[in-house]
Structure 1
């Protein structure tokens, strides 16, 4: 079993305002299905109202981020799945519910974490 990150940036979700409630319910239904299947680890959305912080090795805190992470927003979930093929199926379910493509990444396995 491996952990898979399934995510999308907020800008990818181009849904008319009057359809947002239906999209939200469809997404929650997939998450309920993942929970019932016992594969759901956790998920949510990046809170765009709270600025990211950079914490340096010496403990210094600044209000910045890595340049490539400036657009890190949107929604995500982590599922614990037996294979990449199964992860692709779940990403497809989430893509259909959210009406936008999903990025799929596998976490590296570290037995100490």
Structure 2
């Protein structure tokens, strides 16, 4: 078994009405429940607003904590799911299910 991260950048969501976005929640939750039933679920969650981010940097030899994202960027993480599955094909299957439920693209990477 291997861990995979399925994630999206907030900018991939696009512009939608509040009603449309709210309609996606139950669909995404249903996929999470399927993952749990299949025994592949590790973690899933949306990421708070970028304005709540803080960063830690120890490159100078001293730990510096900053109340802002590490680097200014146009894109930032919007949410992630971690699954523990047998192979790339299984990760692709769950990424497709998440993408379908959310209504926006997902990227997948093997962890470790």
Partner residue, 1:51: 53
* Residue ranges of structure 1 left out of the alignment (5+ in a row): 109-113
- Tell me how many residue pairs correspond in the alignment: 107
* TM-superposed deviation, 1:25: 0.7
Partner secondary structure for residue 53 of structure 2: coil
Q: 2 CA distance for matches of 1:17 and 1:11?
A: 16
* TM-score calculated relative to the size of structure 2: 0.84
Q: 2 CA distance for matches of 1:101 and 1:16?
A: 18
Q: 2 CA distance for matches of 1:87 and 1:6?
A: 8
Question: Which deviates the most, 55-64 or 22-31?
Answer: 55-64
* TM-score calculated relative to the size of structure 1: 0.84
Partner residue, 2:70: 65
Partner residue, 1:111: none
**What is the alpha-carbon root mean square deviation over aligned residues?**
1.7
Residue 25 in structure 1 maps to residue 26 in structure 2: yes
* TM-superposed deviation, 1:39: 0.4
Question: Which deviates the most, 42-51 or 4-13?
Answer: 42-51
* TM-superposed deviation, 1:20: 1.5
* Residue ranges of structure 2 left out of the alignment (5+ in a row): none
* TM-superposed deviation, 1:61: 1.9
Q: 2 CA distance for matches of 1:96 and 1:51?
A: 28
Q: 2 CA distance for matches of 1:101 and 1:73?
A: 12
The answer to whether the 8 A contact 1:5-1:77 is kept is: yes
Determine which structure has the larger strand proportion and give its number: 2
Q: 1 CA distance for matches of 2:64 and 2:11?
A: 31
Partner residue, 1:16: 17
